[in-house]
Amino acid sequence: MTDARPCPVCLGRTTRSIGSFAFGDWQDTSAADLGRESFLYELVACTICGHGRVVHPYGDAFITALYARPQGVEAWGSAVHPAPADAPYAEMVDFVGDAIPESGPVIDVGCGNGELIAALRASGVAPRRLLAIDFAPSLADVPVLAADLNQLDETTPRWTEAGFALGFCTHVLEHVFEPRRLLRGLRAQAANDALLYLEVPDHAPFDLARLLECNLLNAQHLHLWSLDNLRRLAESCGWTVERADSSFFGFVPRARLLLRAAISDDVAQSTAQLLDAQQDACREFAAALLAARSAGPVALWGVGGDLVRAGEISGELARAILNREFTLADRGLAGRRWNGVAIVDPATLATFDGEVWLTPRPARVRAGIRNEAGSMGLTRVVDWYETAIGR
């Protein structure tokens, strides 16, 4: 089947059915005759990457109704699979460990009731460094920020002036409409080299005794994560993985990543340098052509983009070509004119009394021309780019 919402991991749109998940609530518990509102989630997996998600016409109104329902007491363990009440949050902080930066803002995205904020304070993070973020945070003693996490993206103004140094986003990605949008938004909020702790319920491990106790299939969970797909998503949103873990805490299966804001300008810097080098090569090539012209007749083999760009950079070279101070030769354009200047067949260069310069920059093209020139017996062939690039 196809899905109107693309997969957040690979952006695929074809899915296969996993099954369905029913849930509901009593409409009016004060009435003598109870009525129940029921819903059915269709659960599907992406046919490309396997990411699981809900297919349902959910929107703001539907989500608001879901979160208006009482959620009960948070539980991570039971008598069968015990887990200390405060341990999951302390353990989240411990997972970051010595990597906790000594300065800079520390944020909790989706702070809930502030359990993780309390664990951070207990670990020694000063309250003034903390920022608790949620739809409607109501914590005391630390700065709070109300934010619709379904609307966060890379265009959202920064929450902190220099970006956060360490962020936590725990058990949030399974709830939001577009996890990719949220992770991109968090990357834009991050300072250079910032860390982000990411945790979600992990649907890949199977321990039936634990999972039957756990509320893993939940009406508020729109995405079914695995550690592998969480990693794939994070890496495609500008993060690199420092540490990864898939484990149970009590009866709750968790996929956890410690991420670092990836350096994102390698391609831009390298490409900008390449563009500058190409410009410089064209400029030097044009100067070399003009110097060669002063020493005797010169034919230019290849009337293409590299010769055009050299003429655009050097007005003197463009005027010299227009004034027919060079012979133009090109196998594919022979018999045509460029700005009124005739282009000859390279075969006529067998009797040309002067140097023949190869104008293409790509080595593959020049190699072909050199082979053809050799078969014609040309001896005064100048491959300037080969010599210049090799310097």
Residue whose entry in the numeric block shows the structure tokens 């304070």: 121
Across the chain, what does the average pLDDT equal?
Answer: 91
- 100 in the same domain as 34: no
Q: What is the largest CA-CA distance in the chain?
A: 109
Domain co-membership, 46 together with 104: no
What is 34-85 written as a DSSP string?
--EEEEEEEEEEETTT--EEEES---HHHHHHHHHS------S--SSS---T
> Among 175, 162, 230, 159, which Cα is nearest to 199's?
230
Residue 28 pLDDT:
76
The per-residue DSSP string of 240-253 comes to: EEEEEEEEEETTEE
The model carries a pTM of 0.79
In a domain, 104, yes or no: yes
Over residues 132-143, the pLDDT tens digits come to: 999 888 888 899
pLDDT category at 330 given cuts 50, 70, 90 is very high
3-state secondary structure of 1: coil
pLDDT at 364 over 90: yes
Q: What domain range includes position 127? A: 82-264
Does residue 320 share a domain with residue 305?
Answer: yes
- Same structural domain for residues 217 and 350? no
Q: How far apart are CA 174 and CA 182, in angstroms?
A: 11
> Do residues 234 and 338 share a domain?
no
197 part of a folded domain: yes
Per-residue confidence (pLDDT) for residue 72, from 0 to 100: 55
Residue 168's DSSP bridge partners are 108, 197
Q: What percent of the chain has pLDDT over 70?
A: 94
Residues 229 and 324 in one domain: no
Number of domains in the chain: 3
With a pLDDT cut of 90, the percent of the chain lying above it is 74
pLDDT digits 0-9 by tens, 71-130: 555 677 777 787 776 689 999 999 999 999 999 999 999 999 999 999 999 999 999 999
- Once rounded to an integer, what is the mean pLDDT over residues 244-267? 90
CATH number of the domain where residue 275 is located: 3.40.50.20
Reported as a single tens digit per residue, the pLDDT across 336-361 is 999 999 999 999 999 999 999 999 99
Indicate if 152 and 259 belong to the same structural domain.
yes
- The CATH number of the domain holding residue 107 is 3.40.50.150
pLDDT band at 171 (very low <50, low <70, confident <90, very high): very high
Whether 133 and 250 share a structural domain:
yes
- H or E stretch including 23? strand 15-26
